[in-house]
Structures are given as structure tokens and as C-alpha cells.
Amino acid sequence: MHHFKYQKGVLQAEAVPIPRIAQAIGTPFYLYSHATLEHHFQAFDRPFGRVPHLTCFALKANPNLAILRIFGRLGAGADIVSGGELYRALKAGIPPEKIVYSGVGKTDEEIEFALKKKIFMLNVESPEELRLIDRIAGRLKKKAPVAIRVNPDIDPQTHPYISTGLKKNKFGINIQESLAEYALAREMPNLEIKGVDCHIGSQLLLTEPFLEAVGKLKKLVAAIEGQGLTIRVLDLGGGLGITYDQEEPPHPREYARAILQALGKETRTIILEPGRVLVGNAGMLVTKVLYVKRGEEKNFIIVDAGMNDLLRPSLYGSFHQILPVVKKNARRIQADVVGPICESGDFLAKDRTLPLPRAGDLLAVMSAGAYGFSMSSNYNARPRVAEVLSRGDDFQVIRKRETYANLIALEQIPAFLKDKG
Ligand code: LLP
């Protein structure tokens, strides 16, 4: 469900006609709907209502401060994966006691930052990291709250680049081995063992892999508690999929019902780390047609956004629906929708049928709110695009378009290369 609809043939974000935004700030830009973001958070969070739980938005999907503020005001916590994300979450007003920190490569500085800020829990991904956290906490005279991220060896049946819970993936500690690590952790003086964590992958379209994970976690918790430890928190990670094309993922209500049922009479705090499901369909990338190039073998619609702005089609072969912002009755053509980047892999869509556009027409690349802007880059010295939030009949820029000056702001020409004057 989202609030992007046609009104008299013109695509609107809530009550704002999209051409109005393009006129005001130019293209390309990411556009998010406030009502959709709120709605998505509530649709996800509410079904867990009666159970002690914390919904920690996975910042990596979209770390814009305004978006974090929307979720924070609704009670969300944050799932972070770097010091930079911790900084962002805190700046957006997410309380540290609602922040969980995952990731296989936390540095000394990042661990120290997290401990000093008193976050809720660090999800530890290797035996070495566990020891390092204990040492750093000791130096800071603190108790580090930890969970071990276990790798339950479950096939989430998703794209191999975004499946994380298989033995061959780099994430977490093998479930058998983790039992020994919990026993060791218990003896480490500067750790407070809080919970057990897992995250098995992203864009999951079935509930079964989640339930399999819950089953394995429950067994593990029983074994850990058998060793005399108490586990107070179960972090089930993120991963619920969305509809990009024809996919039919479980509704968050169904997902919650299945998980709660699998958990049974659980009184521990449940942590969830949704990313995509909260923001994916609440955002789009608006781009302008520059040229239409008719070829013998293929037609190309060349637009002003490229793989540096939205990497998902190039990196994963992902499908994003593309809609004309203003409906037209033109004859339809089949074309690749491509950007201005100097790579053949620079495409937003392949062999897509669209009403023949003209230079200047606007296209909406849908479902781009998750892993869109957050994975964008300056490749080909392209300033990153603006981000806009619509609310009712109003819209606000929530990140300005970068300038050419921004592109070189951090660079320096060493003295030995400077011309002698
Ligand atoms: N928790 C952890 C530990 C994660 O690694 C992730 C995502 C999430 C939560 C959130 O997962 P979600 O609910 O969004 O599925 N760039 C890829 C997705 C990479 C996901 C990485 N981890 C894409 O564009 O599809």
C-alpha cells in the first residue's frame, strides 16, 4: 500500500502532483511519502503489539535523518552496521537504548563509540570480535551488552548476494560453535550477555525460512539456558520482502502472526530489524527523459538518472516498475531504460514496454525507497540527487542535490604538484 496515485492522468505523491516538484527542484530526485512511511511502520509494528518487542529500523535501507525521525517518533529503534549509522541514528533522536549494532567488521573505534553511547546491544559476529569487545569494555570500565549473531544455515530462497544465513556466508557464528562461545562469554568479566541474534537474508517472500530460524533459535536458547545463563532478548533480524513486480510476500500481519505462533509462550523481548518493508514502496526515483534512441536491434530511452543513483538493477538484475509521470496515449515501444554512465551495465530496466516518451517527459522508477539513495555514489563525477518528502499537499527537500563544489570539497592537490608562482 502506498500513496502514489494518478489524479487526472498525473502521478501524485499524496496530494502533490509530481511535475510540480520537478519544476521546483529539477531532476532526478528521490521522493518519499510521509503517510506511506507512517502507515508501513504501523502495519509492521502493531501486529506484535501484545508482545514485548522493539522494531529497529535497519538504517542501511535508507538513513536519511528525516526518515529516521518519522520512525523514531513512532517508537522505532535502529539497527545499525557502522559508526556512521550510529551517528545518524543519534542525530535523528533515536534513543541509544533502542539501538542494536550488527556487522562482521566493527572496528575498535566503532565498538568504543557504541559502548560510550550505551547502545542496547552489540550483535557479535565472530569469536575474535567477542574477545575484542570484552577488552575494550574493560578498558572503558563498562559492561558491554552483547548477543551472538548465529548463522542458522537456512536457505532464505532469495538472491545469493542478499542471503546471509547460510554456512557459506560470512555472517554470524555457526550455531553449534556459538554454544561454546556463550560459555566462554560468560567467563569474560566485561560482557553482559543479553540475547541471541540472527538475520537470514533480505527480500524473503515466504514465512517458512523465518519460522525455521525461530525454531533453531528456540533450541539454542534452551541449550544456552541449560548452561545456567539467562537470555532476555531474541533478535530475529529483518528480511521481509516487498512487491516490486508480481511477488506476493506475506503481509506484515501474517509474518507477525506466524512468528508469534512459532515463538509460543515467549516472554523475552523480541527485536525485529526491518528495512526494505518499511521504506521500499514508500519511495520512488523521478527521472527525466533526455533522448529516445531507436536502434536496429534495440531501442533506448536515455534518462538523467543512472546506476550511480540506483544501483539495484545493475547489481542484482532487480526489477523496478517504471511509470510515466503524466499518462499519455502514445504508441508503446519496447526499450531499455538507461542512464548516462559509461558502462553497458548502466540500466534501470531492460526490454520494458512503455508509451513512447519524448525528451523532457518524466518517469517514475517505483519501489526505490530502500537501498536506492543509500547505495548511490558519485561515479562519473555525478552529484548525488536530491531527496524529497511529500506530506499532504506539501513537499520538502530532505537532502539537497549535491553541487559540483561538493564533489571536490574533500580533495587536495599536494604542494609538490602546485605550480610555482
Ligand atoms: N538486519 C541485518 C543484520 C541486515 O544485514 C539487514 C540487511 C537488515 C536487517 C535489513 O534487511 P531488510 O529488512 O531490508 O531485508 N542492498 C540489497 C539488500 C541488502 C540487505 C543487507 N542487509 C538490496 O538492494 O536488495
Give the H or E element holding residue 34: helix 34-45
Q: How many CB atoms lie within 10 A of CB 300?
A: 15
Q: Any idea which of 157-171, 207-221, 332-346 has the lowest mean pLDDT?
A: 157-171
Cα–Cα distance list, 213 to 162, 181, 207 (Å): 16, 19, 10
DSSP three-state, residue 42: helix
pLDDT (average), residues 395-419: 96
Query: If you measure from the C-alpha of residue 322 to the centroid of ligand 1, how many angstroms do you get, rounded to a whole number?
Result: 23
The minimum-distance atom of ligand 1 relative to the CA of 370 is: 24
The residue assigned the cell 510540480 is 20
Question: What is the pLDDT at residue 139?
Answer: 98
Question: What is the pLDDT at residue 163?
Answer: 64
Q: How many CB atoms lie within 10 A of CB 80?
A: 29
Question: What is the pLDDT at residue 155?
Answer: 80
Question: What is the pLDDT at residue 162?
Answer: 64
pLDDT (average), residues 219-245: 97
Q: Is 342 a catalytic residue?
A: yes
The minimum-distance atom of ligand 1 relative to the CA of 241 is: 15
- The average confidence (pLDDT) of the chain is 96
Read off the pLDDT of residues 249-282 as tens digits, 9 standing for 90 and up: 999 999 999 999 999 988 899 999 999 999 999 9
The pick from 276, 307, 311, 320 for probing ligand 1's pocket by mutation, whose C-beta has the most ligand atoms within 8 angstroms, reads 276
Residue 158 has pLDDT above 80, yes or no: no
Please identify which of the residues 168, 342, 417, 418 carries the catalytic annotation: 342
Read off the pLDDT of residues 112-149 as tens digits, 9 standing for 90 and up: 999 999 999 999 999 999 999 999 999 999 999 999 99
Tell the residue nearest (CA) to atom 19 of ligand 1: 162
Cβ neighbours of residue 79 under 8 Å, at least 6 residues apart?
56, 57, 58, 59, 99, 100, 101, 102, 238, 273, 275
Query: If you measure from the C-alpha of residue 236 to the centroid of ligand 1, how many angstroms do you get, rounded to a whole number?
Result: 13
List where CATH 2.40.37.10 sits in the chain. Answer: 4-31+280-407
In angstroms, rounded to a whole number, what is the distance separating the alpha carbons of residues 170 and 355? 44
In angstroms, rounded to a whole number, what is the distance separating the alpha carbons of residues 98 and 53? 11
Residue 421 has pLDDT above 70, yes or no: no
Query: If you measure from the C-alpha of residue 370 to the centroid of ligand 1, how many angstroms do you get, rounded to a whole number?
Result: 9
The minimum-distance atom of ligand 1 relative to the CA of 149 is: 3
User: Using 50, 70 and 90 to split pLDDT, how confident is the model at 75?
Assistant: very high
Tell the residue nearest (CA) to atom 16 of ligand 1: 371
Query: If you measure from the C-alpha of residue 363 to the centroid of ligand 1, how many angstroms do you get, rounded to a whole number?
Result: 27
The minimum-distance atom of ligand 1 relative to the CA of 81 is: 3
Question: What is the pLDDT at residue 265?
Answer: 86
User: Using 50, 70 and 90 to split pLDDT, how confident is the model at 161?
Assistant: low
In angstroms, rounded to a whole number, what is the distance separating the alpha carbons of residues 184 and 281? 43
Residue 166 has pLDDT above 80, yes or no: no
Read off the pLDDT of residues 280-306 as tens digits, 9 standing for 90 and up: 999 999 999 999 999 889 999 999 999
Query: If you measure from the C-alpha of residue 201 to the centroid of ligand 1, how many angstroms do you get, rounded to a whole number?
Result: 7
Query: If you measure from the C-alpha of residue 262 to the centroid of ligand 1, how many angstroms do you get, rounded to a whole number?
Result: 23
The residue assigned the cell 541449550 is 223
pLDDT (average), residues 223-242: 97
The pick from 57, 99, 162, 202 for probing ligand 1's pocket by mutation, whose C-beta has the most ligand atoms within 8 angstroms, reads 202
User: Residue 288's beta-bridge partner residues?
Assistant: 362
Tell the residue nearest (CA) to atom 22 of ligand 1: 202
CB burial of residue 257 (10 Å; 0-12, 13-18, 19+): middle
Distance of CA 186 to the CA centre of its chain: 33
pLDDT (average), residues 76-98: 98
In angstroms, rounded to a whole number, what is the distance separating the alpha carbons of residues 236 and 262? 12
User: Using 50, 70 and 90 to split pLDDT, how confident is the model at 353?
Assistant: very high
Question: What is the pLDDT at residue 254?
Answer: 97
pLDDT (average), residues 395-421: 94
Question: What is the pLDDT at residue 16?
Answer: 98
Q: Is there a contact between 317 and 100 (Cβ–Cβ < 8 Å)?
A: no
User: Using 50, 70 and 90 to split pLDDT, how confident is the model at 241?
Assistant: very high
Query: If you measure from the C-alpha of residue 14 to the centroid of ligand 1, how many angstroms do you get, rounded to a whole number?
Result: 27
| Correct CATH for 4-31+280-407 of 2.40.37.10, 3.90.650.10, 1.10.10.10, 3.20.20.210 | 2.40.37.10
The minimum-distance atom of ligand 1 relative to the CA of 315 is: 24
User: Using 50, 70 and 90 to split pLDDT, how confident is the model at 231?
Assistant: very high
| Helix boundaries (H) for 46-100 | 65-73, 83-91
Query: If you measure from the C-alpha of residue 163 to the centroid of ligand 1, how many angstroms do you get, rounded to a whole number?
Result: 9
In angstroms, rounded to a whole number, what is the distance separating the alpha carbons of residues 226 and 412? 59
One-letter amino acid at 149 equals R
Residue 1 has pLDDT above 80, yes or no: no
User: Using 50, 70 and 90 to split pLDDT, how confident is the model at 156?
Assistant: confident
Read off the pLDDT of residues 302-332 as tens digits, 9 standing for 90 and up: 999 999 999 999 999 999 999 999 999 999 9
Percent of the chain at pLDDT above 90?
92
In angstroms, rounded to a whole number, what is the distance separating the alpha carbons of residues 252 and 255? 5
Residue 169 has pLDDT above 80, yes or no: no
The pick from 273, 348, 377 for probing ligand 1's pocket by mutation, whose C-beta has the most ligand atoms within 8 angstroms, reads 273
Residues, the chain: 421
The minimum-distance atom of ligand 1 relative to the CA of 274 is: 13
Residue 165 has pLDDT above 70, yes or no: no
pLDDT (average), residues 36-50: 96
List where CATH 3.20.20.10 sits in the chain. Answer: 34-278
* Predicted structure pTM score: 0.97
User: Using 50, 70 and 90 to split pLDDT, how confident is the model at 171?
Assistant: confident
Tell the residue nearest (CA) to atom 7 of ligand 1: 202
Cβ neighbours of residue 228 under 8 Å, at least 6 residues apart?
186
Residue 27 has pLDDT above 90, yes or no: yes
User: Which has more pLDDT, 273 or 170?
Assistant: 273
Tell the residue nearest (CA) to atom 9 of ligand 1: 238
Residue 225 has pLDDT above 80, yes or no: yes
What are the backbone angles phi and psi of residue 219, rounded to the nearest 5°? -60, -45
Question: What is the pLDDT at residue 409?
Answer: 98
Read off the pLDDT of residues 358-371 as tens digits, 9 standing for 90 and up: 999 999 999 999 99
Cα–Cα distance list, 363 to 10, 19, 36, 327 (Å): 11, 10, 20, 10
Residues within a 6 A CB radius of ligand 1: 58, 60-61, 79, 102, 162, 199, 202-203, 237-240, 273-277, 312, 370-371, 375
Question: What is the pLDDT at residue 399?
Answer: 99
Which superfamily, per CATH, for 34-278? Alanine racemase (3.20.20.10)
Percent of the chain at pLDDT above 70?
97
Strand pairing report for 191-197 and 173-174: unpaired
